[in-house]
């Protein structure tokens, strides 16, 4: 069980670094949600299931959705989508 | 792609530097792109770029070099401080931890008798420390009001332009059928977590968050018009304010009694039954309603500018 905890903690550090250094904001939000899921497993291992439920619902669910909506609002997602489309069109040309 | 291949065999610092540089490039690109479509207006005011070049390009370049370095040093310093602090924390669950004092003993030994809650965490946050939780739920309400002030957009009410553009998911059959299967389970689980807060892990905050996530899912699958039958601006205000008022009335007397309990006419009942633990069950429901409404309200305000 201890080894399992260490693996999860290492994953948390990797997630934190990846979320900081990733260029794509959409991927950053998804990494952040993965971080929350692992964190909720760690809460269960630390014997606080109350916090685990809250972390899973808020951290992995609602916060992620709000981030997505914000990204869409500031046109980050749309921009990347249209840029990808542009590249496709250029290829076709 | 070129930049990525270049940064492969460099030190961490060089990578951070090139990362920051690339972000700068991207920012300037975006700024240029934003500026392009604007018609060139003839004004006598000095343009920003000209001022920079004319006045103090040397100084600004100097700071350009200093900033990443200083930021890196600052980050290293903060990391070092945090690591040193974390290494000096007492061992998790140790015998001589400062948190393990007579308060903890009292909670663990007499908690179930005094509060009637089998789940001691809920017993603590909604009975011993109910006053703190009162503040927390008001913080949620205040946050919702702040978002409402910032994002409320009365114009969307008259012309529902957003209504048609943003809900592309509502037309997705797979997503909607998935919601049809998942939603009852999610809502039922949320209600279960709220109502069993004093018996099993969970309570108002976690159950309310699950309920709010369910409401968000429903509005994504079926559009806001369908969700508005349950939560619209009127019912949102009524539910939130009634819950907070009930909570305040039942617990805010601690202001006047010096944070002491008054003898309650509601008995704590038999621990383990659902109608037990005195006021904890209704307070859990109140907190659950506030959290669920706040979550959904945030989403609705972010997405379309009104509740």
Tell me which chain A residues have a C-beta less than 8 angstroms from the C-beta of B298.
62, 66
pLDDT at B40: 47
Q: What is the C-alpha to C-alpha distance for residues B138 and B117, in angstroms, rounded to an integer?
A: 24
- CA nearest B305 in A: which residue? A73
Q: Which of B15-19, B233-237, B246-250, B281-285 has the lowest mean pLDDT?
A: B15-19
pLDDT at B251: 78
- CA nearest B12 in A: which residue? A21
Closest CA relative to residue B189, chosen from A78, A61, A34: A61
Task: State whether A54 and B206 contact (CB < 8 Å).
Answer: yes
Tell me which chain A residues have a C-beta less than 8 angstroms from the C-beta of B213.
57, 61-62, 65
Q: What are phi and psi of B261, to 5 degrees?
A: -75, 150
| pLDDT confidence band for B5 (50 / 70 / 90) | very low
pLDDT at A40: 92
The residue segments making up the domain with residue A64 are: 2-92
Express each pLDDT in A1-49 by its tens digit.
788 889 999 999 999 999 888 888 888 999 999 999 999 999 998 888 8
Chain A contact present for B224, CB below 8 A: no
Q: Is the pLDDT reported for residue B31 higher than 60?
A: no
Token pair for A50: 């109350």
- Within 10 A of B8 (CB to CB), how many other CB atoms are there? 7
Are B119 and B207 in contact by the 8 Å Cβ rule? The answer is no
Number of domains in chain A: 1
Quote the pTM value.
Answer: 0.70
| pLDDT confidence band for A83 (50 / 70 / 90) | low
Q: By three-state DSSP, how is residue B271 classified?
A: strand
Task: State whether A70 and B302 contact (CB < 8 Å).
Answer: yes
Sequence-ordered alpha helix ranges (H) in B2-56: 2-6, 12-35, 48-55
Task: State whether A57 and B92 contact (CB < 8 Å).
Answer: no
């Amino acid at each position: 069980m201890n080894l399992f905890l260490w693996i999860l903690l290492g994953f948390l550090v990797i997630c934190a670094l990846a979320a900081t250094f990733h260029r794509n904001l959409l991927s950053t939000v998804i990494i952040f949600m993965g971080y929350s899921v692992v964190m909720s497993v760690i809460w269960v291992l630390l014997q606080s299931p109350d916090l685990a439920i809250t972390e899973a619902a808020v951290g992995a669910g609602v916060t992620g959705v709000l981030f997505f909506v914000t990204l869409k609002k500031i046109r980050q997602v749309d921009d990347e989508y249209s840029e990808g489309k542009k590249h496709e069109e250029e290829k076709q040309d | 792609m070129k930049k990525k291949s270049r940064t492969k065999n460099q030190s961490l610092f060089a990578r951070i530097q090139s990362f920051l540089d690339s972000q700068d490039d991207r920012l300037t690109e975006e700024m240029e792109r934003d500026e392009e479509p604007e018609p060139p207006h003839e004004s006598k005011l000095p343009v920003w770029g000209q001022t920079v070049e004319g006045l103090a390009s040397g100084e600004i370049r100097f700071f350009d070099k200093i900033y990443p370095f200083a930021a890196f040093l600052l980050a290293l310093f903060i990391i070092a401080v945090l690591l040193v602090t974390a290494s000096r924390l007492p061992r998790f669950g140790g015998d001589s931890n400062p948190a393990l004092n007579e308060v903890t003993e009292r909670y663990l030994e007499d908690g179930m008798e005094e509060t009637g809650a089998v789940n001691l965490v809920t017993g603590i946050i909604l009975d011993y420390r109910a006053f703190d939780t009162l503040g927390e739920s008001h913080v949620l309400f205040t946050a919702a009001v702040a978002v409402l002030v910032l994002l409320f957009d009365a114009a969307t009410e008259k012309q529902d332009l957003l209504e048609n553009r943003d809900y592309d998911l509502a037309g997705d059959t797979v997503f909607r059928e998935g919601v049809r299967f998942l939603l009852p389970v999610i809502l039922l689980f949320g209600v279960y977590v709220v109502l069993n807060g004093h018996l099993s892990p969970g309570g108002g905050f976690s159950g309310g968050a699950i309920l709010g996530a369910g409401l968000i899912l429903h509005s994504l699958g079926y559009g806001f018009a369908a969700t508005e039958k349950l939560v619209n601006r009127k019912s949102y205000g009524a539910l939130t304010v009634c819950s907070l008022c009930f909570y305040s009335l039942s617990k805010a007397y601690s202001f006047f009694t010096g944070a002491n309990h008054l003898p309650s006419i509601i008995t704590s009942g038999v621990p383990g039954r659902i109608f037990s633990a005195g006021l904890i069950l209704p307070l859990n429901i109140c907190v659950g309603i506030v959290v669920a409404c706040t979550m959904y309200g945030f989403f609705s305000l972010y997405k379309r500018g009104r509740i």
